[in-house]
Chains A and B, each alone.
Chain A
Amino acid sequence: MIRNHLSTIIIFLVTAAAGVIAAISFGKMHHPEELYPSTFLTKKGMLSDYFDGIKGTNGDTEVYLFDSGVEGGTALLGGGTHANEAASFLASVVILENLKVTQGRVIIIPRMNNSAFTCSDPMEGFPEYFGIPTDNGTRTFRLGSRVTNPLDQWPDPLVFAQYPSNQQLSGFETRNLNRAYPGRPDGNLTEKVAYAIIQLIDKENVNIAFDLHESSPEVPIVNVIVYHEKYEDIAMGAVLGLEMAGLQFSPETSPKNFHGLSHREWGDFTNAVPFLMETSNPSMGRLRGKTDVDLVLRGYCDNYKKAKETGALRIAYREDTGEPIEHRVGRHIMGFKELINSYNYYYPENQIVIENLPDYDLMMENGVGKYLNN
């Protein structure tokens, strides 16, 4: 009798302990990791400062401002539109933690869709976190979801009618921030976040805006700069400049009839010059094998090597080295720098001058951790 009760109590305690551990682990996803901006940061605010309809929600997120105090243009850099694209978020963090602006202003939002950092994509087997070794220990970062947390926005419609174009997409896309622009103040949470970003661009008179992304190696739109047709020359100048630095970026025009994306709607609805960049991330592809932190960071996958060797598809994958995180972060940072250089060439009266960001070669030599503060 006592033995029966004892085993019941033990099972109960073990189950309760497992539940508590799982709850703590789950709850941690709602606590964003600490970021350590460079000493040149002048102001930290929230996205809800520009639209209070997201205040107190998981859509609200930190906005960092670097103001040189010297008259010039204003740039917006957004990471983490899709929280499962590690290099997009990490590149914005590296820039945040190193940037010095000597003319004009730079605004950084590392977690554009903050809600997407509070969950993971179901059925994908993604790790919840990844660690970057630094001189002072390992910094841990969240690997989130492509879309807004369903706990914050539910249910999805069967068919998503994009506002205001009424373009019809799969219901899942209703939680995709990069289908939600220009957003609306009375829409769902994702549309409200999009609306808040548009308000920020308007109120801060943003001249040039960046949306950082990653993509599967087999997707045609990878290792690219997507540009709005109004600003073709800036993109072309940057592509040539990057090539001189040994980095190949393909220019891609933003389709006029594909709505809700930053490179389309920021250009149509604001005065900003928008650019979207994509790097190749094997951990996101359909051909990937075991999906673990090693794949996210080292970006090496035999399946992609084999796929490329068949020649059946164009695969943006380097057989020998894979697509490691320092390569992907380095490309984003170089793209950011070179597009600003090209913008300055075409808008000399409104320059943005930035310093202190690592070049691609240094990033490859030293790794990402060398450029993180803690």
Chain B
Amino acid sequence: MKARISTIVTILIFFFTVSVQAQTFEQPVLISSAGQSADVKLVKMLAQRQGLDATTILMAKPADLTGFKTLIIVPGFSSKGLGAAGISQQEEMERVQTLIKSANDLKIPIVMLHIGGNARRKGQSDAFNQIVAENSKAMVVVRQGDEDGFFTGISKAKNIPLTLVDKIAETATPLGNLFK
């Protein structure tokens, strides 16, 4: 009996893992920020290098989702970024919440890329990190940003596949693989 249960569990884990790993995303892609950190500009550059059909709108609104099949959100708070955008933290959070809700309603999957390491953790960043991570279908995270297991915890709790890499430049390959 025990052996059967363990076999069934193993098979279930195998199929779950395969289904999670096999999840691919479609283009064109909309890239946006949550918190207005300039990390989103780096992701734009990495997406270009992977040849993705991607458009970057820093302050994307629900209407901007039209025609896109995947939404990449790069979370991380930046006071200078918010200053450059001329908005408050509260206004940015409301925009992000609305954007995520619309993407979910339209069944546009969200991919989270957190590349800012510990500079984009805690403080005012984690509210953005949490809402984006919990609503994503895949996460790619530079390991330094997960030293306390923040993203690993969300990944396990919500069954969201998480890829951890050591460096920003190393996010390019898993990012590209998501669209193959």
The interface stretch among A147-155, A182-190, A237-245, A360-368 is: A237-245
Number of B residues near A (Cβ < 8 Å) is: 29
Pairwise interchain contact B123-A253, C-beta atoms closer than 8 A: no
Pairwise interchain contact A257-B125, C-beta atoms closer than 8 A: no
Kindly provide the distance from the CB of B6 to the nearest chain A CB, expressed in whole angstroms. Answer: 39
Pairwise interchain contact A255-B168, C-beta atoms closer than 8 A: no
Give the contacts of B1-50 with A (CB-CB under 8 A): 37-39, 41-42, 45
Q: Does B70 contact A (CB under 8 A)?
A: no
Instruction: State which of A235, A258, A316 has its C-beta within 8 Å of the C-beta of B119.
Output: A316
Pairwise interchain contact B83-A313, C-beta atoms closer than 8 A: no
Kindly provide the distance from the CB of B166 to the nearest chain A CB, expressed in whole angstroms. Answer: 10
Pairwise interchain contact A220-B42, C-beta atoms closer than 8 A: no
Q: How far is the CA of A316 from the CA of B122 in the complex (A)?
A: 12
The interface stretch among B74-82, B94-102, B152-160 is: B74-82
Q: Mark A55-78, 1 if CB is under 8 A from B, else 0.
A: 000000000000000000000000
Instruction: Provide the residues of chain A in CB contact with B125, threshold 8 Å.
Output: 314
Give the contacts of A144-194 with B (CB-CB under 8 A): none
Pairwise interchain contact B41-A250, C-beta atoms closer than 8 A: no
Nearest CB in chain A to that of B42: its residue:
A236
Kindly provide the distance from the CB of A232 to the nearest chain B CB, expressed in whole angstroms. Answer: 6
Pairwise interchain contact B144-A248, C-beta atoms closer than 8 A: yes
Q: Does A306 contact B (CB under 8 A)?
A: no
Q: Does B116 contact A (CB under 8 A)?
A: yes
Q: Does B118 contact A (CB under 8 A)?
A: yes
Q: Does B63 contact A (CB under 8 A)?
A: no
Nearest CB in chain B to that of A258: its residue:
B83
Q: How far is the CA of A371 from the CA of B90 in the complex (A)?
A: 48
Kindly provide the distance from the CB of A46 to the nearest chain B CB, expressed in whole angstroms. Answer: 34
| A232-B117 CB under 8 A given contacts A243-B169, A254-B80 | no
Kindly provide the distance from the CB of B113 to the nearest chain A CB, expressed in whole angstroms. Answer: 14
Instruction: State which of B41, B42, B86, B123 has its C-beta within 8 Å of the C-beta of A314.
Output: B123
| A250-B168 CB under 8 A given contacts A233-B45, A314-B122, A316-B119 | no
Pairwise interchain contact B81-A253, C-beta atoms closer than 8 A: yes
Instruction: Provide the residues of chain B in CB contact with A254, threshold 8 Å.
Output: 80, 84
Instruction: State which of B122, B144, B148, B168 has its C-beta within 8 Å of the C-beta of A313.
Output: B122
Q: How far is the CA of A221 from the CA of B123 in the complex (A)?
A: 13
Interface residues on A, range: 20 to 34
Kindly provide the distance from the CB of B114 to the nearest chain A CB, expressed in whole angstroms. Answer: 13
Pairwise interchain contact A240-B119, C-beta atoms closer than 8 A: no
Kindly provide the distance from the CB of B61 to the nearest chain A CB, expressed in whole angstroms. Answer: 20
Pairwise interchain contact A244-B169, C-beta atoms closer than 8 A: yes
Instruction: State which of A221, A251, A255 has its C-beta within 8 Å of the C-beta of B41.
Output: A251
Q: Does A98 contact B (CB under 8 A)?
A: no
Pairwise interchain contact B119-A250, C-beta atoms closer than 8 A: yes
| A257-B117 CB under 8 A given contacts A244-B167, A252-B38 | no
Q: Does A137 contact B (CB under 8 A)?
A: no
| A256-B84 CB under 8 A given contacts A220-B79, A232-B41, A251-B42 | yes
Of the candidates B120, B121, B144, B169, the one having the most CB atoms from chain A within 10 angstroms of its own CB is: B169
Instruction: Provide the residues of chain B in CB contact with A90, threshold 8 Å.
Output: none
Nearest CB in chain B to that of A225: its residue:
B38
| A248-B119 CB under 8 A given contacts A226-B80, A256-B84 | yes
Q: Mark B145-180, 1 if CB is under 8 A from A, else 0.
A: 000100000000000000000011100000000000
| A236-B169 CB under 8 A given contacts A253-B80, A255-B80, A256-B84 | no
Kindly provide the distance from the CB of A81 to the nearest chain B CB, expressed in whole angstroms. Answer: 17
Kindly provide the distance from the CB of B48 to the nearest chain A CB, expressed in whole angstroms. Answer: 10
Q: How far is the CA of A26 from the CA of B63 in the complex (A)?
A: 64
Instruction: Provide the residues of chain A in CB contact with B81, threshold 8 Å.
Output: 252-253
Q: How far is the CA of A316 from the CA of B119 in the complex (A)?
A: 8
Return 13 A-B CB contacts under 8 Å, by A number: A220-B79, A232-B38, A233-B45, A235-B38, A236-B42, A240-B42, A243-B169, A244-B167, A250-B38, A252-B38, A252-B80, A255-B80, A313-B122
Ranked 8 nearest A-B pairs via Cβ: A255-B83, A251-B38, A314-B123, A250-B119, A252-B80, A255-B84, A253-B84, A314-B122
Tell me the B residues contacting A by CB distance below 8 Å: 37-39, 41-42, 45, 77-81, 83-84, 86, 116-125, 144, 148, 167-169
Q: Besides the contacts A227-B38, A250-B39, A250-B120, what 4 more A-B pairs have beta carbons closer than 8 Å? A: A244-B167, A251-B38, A253-B41, A311-B148
